[in-house]
Structure 1
Amino acid sequence: MNKEAQEKRYKKIITILSIVIPVAVAALFGIKLDVEPLSFLPPIYATINGITAVLLILSVIAIKKGNRNLHERLNIMAIVCSVLFLVMYVAYHMTSDSTVFGGEGAIKYVYYFILITHILLSIVVIPFVLITLMRAKLEKFVEHKKIAKITFPLWLYVAVSGVIVYLMISPYYA
């Protein structure tokens, strides 16, 4: 398959995943399983978000040093971590009631700002990550570098803000 056909195929997959993932997550949030709550998951998936952030930073360092193989492996690991986070996050919310943030005053507004931007950017970043990956796989490195300059800070914000949201809400877990 030539690169043009591959790119066309990748773009279809990216479009489908960019729509299906957020819709599926939203739909699964409406399902409550009558099982033991998976209350042990939040610190695990928050840690995975932290690991994702570290992997992304290490990936940038690797490519700046010219180590393309390490850069690629670190990014694939970051994608795997993001998928693991999402699976655990959905599993937790399908088995547990949502925790209400108990802070008051300005901190409440800070929390909700971080939470809302985290959620919105976690949706926005999906096609960015996939397009960035596609361009690398197709060896379109000039285009890859251009979009990576957008993808990296978005993805890093989502990873770090996920940890911050967890740290802020963790005192209120039942």
Structure 2
Amino acid sequence: MNTLKKSDRVAVPVIIILSIVIPLAVLVLMNLPARYDIFGLDMGTYPFFHAILNGATSVLLIAGYIFIRRGERKLHRNVMITAFFLSSIFLVSYVISKISNDPTPYAGEGFLRPIYFFVLITHIMLSAIIVPLVLFTMYRGLTKEYAKHRKIARWTYPIWLYVSVTGVLVYLFMLPYY
């Protein structure tokens, strides 16, 4: 019989709830009828900050992959926790930016337009599913359930890396319009 560990009885429902609430909250906040400029920052400040966070996360994810391949578990754990921390900061900042600023439309034309929208759409879709993947992967790693951690990390790593890299690409595509 497959029963949940005591810690799983709390962690799994919390991860599932967060995995539903976070994307829904972002969706609602993106569609607010009015904006509330919380920090009074220039419109371009948020996207630049988000690109820095996404770029740093990408570097940390690659470093974490290298460290685990070399068998350096402690370094792997530390950089992955840092990547998670940066992604969490990104998420909070992204929500604040959506509350503070109207969306900026992409005005590019020609062959870049379909490329941009492909990158944007895949980025958005995968960013919604990365939340539970990252949370479950982190949980399994931190609870030292390494077999389960490895199993889910095989999916989490490439998707998380794609989301972080495409976050930077979306910024570069949009840079002329901020």
1:78-117 correspondence runs (5 A): 78-117=83-122
What corresponds to 2:75 in structure 1? Answer: 70
Corresponding pairs, count: 171
Q: What per-residue deviation string (whole Å, max 9, x for no partner) do you get for residues 11-63 of structure 1?
A: 11110110110111112223311563542121111111000000000001111
Matches within 5 A, 1:3-152: 4-31=5-32, 32-34=35-37, 36-39=40-43, 40-152=45-157
**Runs of 5+ consecutive residues of structure 2 not aligned to the other structure:** none
Change (3 A) 1:38 1:22: farther
| CA displacement at 1:95 relative to structure 2 | 1.5
Give the C-alpha shift of residue 69 in structure 1.
Answer: 1.1
Q: CA deviation at 1:165?
A: 0.3
Q: CA RMSD in A?
A: 1.4
8 Å CA contact retained: 1:38, 1:96 = no
Would you say the 8 A contact 2:37–2:101 is kept in 1? no
Moved more, 26-35 or 60-69: 26-35
1:61-90 residue CA offsets vs partner (Å, 9 max, x unmatched): 111111111111111111111111112222
Task: Find the residue that maps to 2:5 and give its secondary structure.
Answer: helix
SS in 2 for 1:97: coil
- With normalisation by structure 1, the TM-score equals 0.93
After the TM superposition, which segments of 4 or more aligned residues of structure 1 sit over 2 Å from their partners? 34-38
Structure 1 unmatched ranges of 5 or more: none
